[in-house]
A and B are shown apart, each in its own frame.
Chain A
Amino acid sequence: GAGVSQTPSNKVTEKGKYVELRCDPISGHTALYWYRQSLGQGPEFLIYFQGTGAADDSGLPNDRFFAVRPEGSVSTLKIQRTERGDSAVYLCASSAYTVQGPQYFGPGTRLLVL
């Protein structure tokens, strides 16, 4: 079946602009995660959704970052007033809602803030 998909695959924007990154999870997966991966580093947790609600948003670095999942499937990560330090690969993962299970990652969106 189809895996996790993310769009766009690449996004170049200017400092101060607003960006939206989209994630389509695996069908039937109720848990959805956003991570950020800087060059040469492991993924860093941002936010986790269970269904439509954000169950844990403790990884969001500041209030410029926001994510939604209005219908419990597709999720959008929104970044306001982008800064050069926001440049990274933004990864989305999904998993079935079970006690401890694998997370399946999408290919990521490479964001470059000029």
Chain B
Amino acid sequence: QQQVKQSPQSLIVQKGGISIINCAYENTAFDYFPWYQQFPGKGPALLIAIRPDVSEKKEGRFTISFNKSAKQFSLHIMDSQPGDSATYFCAASRGGYGQNFVFGPGTRLSVLP
């Protein structure tokens, strides 16, 4: 129940295209869902996050769509750029203070110029 599933494992997109990464969870107690971006040799960096009281959140080219009934959420990267090439991790945590994150296995995104 603590697992977060993520797909696809890898993704290749042309510059200017839309990148879509999907995640699913089982634990209905999860109520905070961040996405992290990680470049080789670096730590994960927060990209965008959502709580289940909204179905969508947009920040610049990045949008999270959240489906509470299906226990699924996805990251959409509009107008994908070569600089977006990185590994993306979805994560989830339970309510309360200072809860640790459960991470998905990651999606390696390559944006071709």
Interface size class of A (residues with CB under 8 A): 20 to 34
**Which of B6, B31, B51, B98 is within 8 Å of A48, CB to CB?**
B98
Contact check, A43 vs B97: say whether CB atoms are below 8 A apart: no
Bound-state Cα–Cα, A100 to B93, Å? 8
Chain B: CB-nearest residue to A47: B100
Residues of B within 8 A of A103 (CB): 34, 46, 101
Contact check, A42 vs B106: say whether CB atoms are below 8 A apart: yes
Mask, B76-111, CB within 8 Å of A = 1, is 000000000000010101011111111111100000
Contact check, A43 vs B89: say whether CB atoms are below 8 A apart: yes
Interface size class of B (residues with CB under 8 A): 20 to 34
**Nearest 8 Cβ contacts at the A-B interface:** A42-B103, A105-B43, A45-B100, A100-B32, A31-B98, A102-B46, A105-B44, A107-B43
Contact check, A59 vs B41: say whether CB atoms are below 8 A apart: no
**Which of B41, B95, B100 is within 8 Å of A56, CB to CB?**
B100
**Which of B43, B98, B99, B103 is within 8 Å of A106, CB to CB?**
B43
Is A95's CB within 8 Å of the partner chain B? yes
A-B contact pairs, 30 of them (CB 8 A): A4-B43, A31-B97, A35-B103, A40-B105, A41-B105, A42-B89, A42-B91, A42-B103, A42-B106, A43-B44, A43-B103, A45-B102, A48-B98, A50-B98, A93-B43, A95-B98, A97-B97, A98-B97, A99-B95, A100-B32, A102-B49, A103-B46, A103-B101, A105-B43, A105-B44, A105-B45, A106-B43, A107-B41, A107-B43, A108-B43
Contact check, B96 vs A42: say whether CB atoms are below 8 A apart: no
Contact check, B89 vs A100: say whether CB atoms are below 8 A apart: no
Is A14's CB within 8 Å of the partner chain B? no
Contact check, B103 vs A99: say whether CB atoms are below 8 A apart: no
Contact check, A99 vs B43: say whether CB atoms are below 8 A apart: no
**Distance (whole angstroms) from the CB of B23 to the closest CB of chain A:** 11
Contact check, B97 vs A50: say whether CB atoms are below 8 A apart: yes
Is A91's CB within 8 Å of the partner chain B? yes
Is A55's CB within 8 Å of the partner chain B? yes
